[in-house]
Structure 1
């Protein structure tokens, strides 16, 4: 009879905390990843094979199953977009067919959180392929660029870009641009297409739709006026 080693009984998401319960110390740590999620939800609306988590715990160590890392944002491919009925409580690798995030996004805050060393090492252990760090306010303090993207090669992250960076697996680029989100015009992280054009924020999509409506109404009014000049009144037909 062969000897076997029993695997530990791993906890489910319902048995694990969904975050580290540490509040963010600036708005951008929440707003930046939520904007990326909102844009993806529009451009990938018909796709069901992805998940973007915001301030959600990732559990990935079977040897320490209750220890999590909590990125500001992360994107996974090849997983269920939505888990019914209430969605994910956290992202547990052994419940996701051991699928790690392809991309992690961190927004550096006033209190340094180890984005360039401790977290970088942990995301390597997790199996992340791309790691984006947005540091608009403290980049000089940390001696880094305001925006950096690292790509995994073997067992290390290598700095690839300090500008917009194309991620072939997503057929999207991620980068910095000025736009409007939640009524706030400033620099944000955006997704870009293959031509280098950025996708609009929800605010901008609404404004574009309103503009198209106004243009259509104006075109209809112009048509009415031209017809009236010819003695045709649409309202009387």
Structure 2
């Protein structure tokens, strides 16, 4: 049966300037800020001069597949491809799908926290309906409480998320893999998420690249 959607001329979707830029919900652990910001920082070097991508951190995604276009979903991080790096030469306050030619994020990251945030049910359902292809729940601290694994990647198949295996997890549509590795934060070594190439080799931070260069350069002296 052919279903024809009727256009409602009275329906006017708000612009990004008219929408709140976040839900003002504070994070309750450092990882929720550090992990996605590290991924963003690395992307700026990996993608180089590419201008067809956007990575949002703790930013509202406004869409028309939920209860209301005025109610955003706010992941800890997300990646969209095929959009302007800086929309109309400006920084985004929020990601408004109907202003992005309908492009939804291809990858979404949720970092589980002390306060359960619906990562495995409510938000998962929202992202599935929205059409996010790859969904990662990173849960290094509360995975036993939630009865899940610390690192779980889901792929959208026929409208439902299926848990994937393997780490780093390769995303061919993105051209990147993602996985865990140590990060040296001063004297403290912590776990972080990194991007990987198709061969499973981790992309280094600029500091790591400089250290390797200095080590090799010193060997030549």
User: TM-score scaled by structure 1?
Assistant: 0.84
Which one of the candidate residues 78, 81, 85 is aligned to 1:81? 85
Q: What residue number does 2:30 align with?
A: 27
Could you list the runs of 4 or more consecutive aligned residues of structure 1 that deviate by over 4 angstroms after TM superposition? 181-184
Give the Cα–Cα distance (whole angstroms) in 2 for the partners of residues 89 and 184 of structure 1: 33
Residue matched to 1:12:
15
Deviation at 1:200, TM superposition (A): 1.2
Q: Aligned pair 1:145/2:153, yes or no? A: no
Report 1:72-221 matches (<5 A). Answer: 72-161=76-165, 163-180=167-184, 184-212=188-216, 215=218, 219=220
**What are the within-5 Å matches in structure 2 for residues 56-71 of structure 1?**
56-61=59-64, 64-71=68-75
What is the CA–CA distance in structure 2 between the aligned matches of 1:4 and 1:199, rounded to whole Å?
46
- Does structure 2 conserve the Cα–Cα contact (< 8 Å) formed by 1:57 and 1:71? yes
What are structure 2's unaligned runs of at least 5 residues? 1-5
Contact kept? 1:148, 1:163, Cα under 8 Å:
no
How far residue 76 of structure 1 moved from its aligned partner, in angstroms, is: 0.4
Aligned residue number for residue 234 of structure 1: none
Tell me how far apart the structure 2 counterparts of residues 94 and 4 of structure 1 sit (CA, whole Å): 15
Aligned positions of 1:42-57 closer than 5 A: 42-57=45-60
* Structure 1 unaligned spans of 5+: 223-237
2:55 corresponds to 1:41: no
Task: Find the aligned partners of 1:182 and 1:89 in 2 and give their Cα distance.
Answer: 32
Q: Please say if residues 149 and 162 of structure 1, whose CA atoms lie closer than 8 Å, have aligned partners that are also in contact.
A: no
Alignment correspondent of 2:3: none
CA RMSD of the aligned region, Å?
2.0
Count the aligned residue pairs: 215
**Does structure 2 retain, via aligned residues, the 8 Å contact 1:145–1:162?**
no
Q: Matched residues in 2 for 1:28 and 1:196: separation?
A: 24
Tell me the TM-score normalised to structure 2 length. 0.90
Asked whether the equivalents of residues 71 and 105 of structure 1 are also in contact (C-alpha less than 8 Å), the reply is: yes
Given that residues 179 and 201 in structure 1 are in contact (C-alpha distance below 8 angstroms), is that contact kept between their aligned partners in structure 2? no
- State how far apart, in whole Å, the 2-side matches of 1:67 and 1:197 are: 39
Larger radius of gyration, structure 1 or 2? 1
Q: 1:202 to 1:20 in 2, by over 3 A?
A: farther
Q: Distance in 1 between matches of 2:187 and 2:55?
A: 23
Offset at 1:7? 4.4
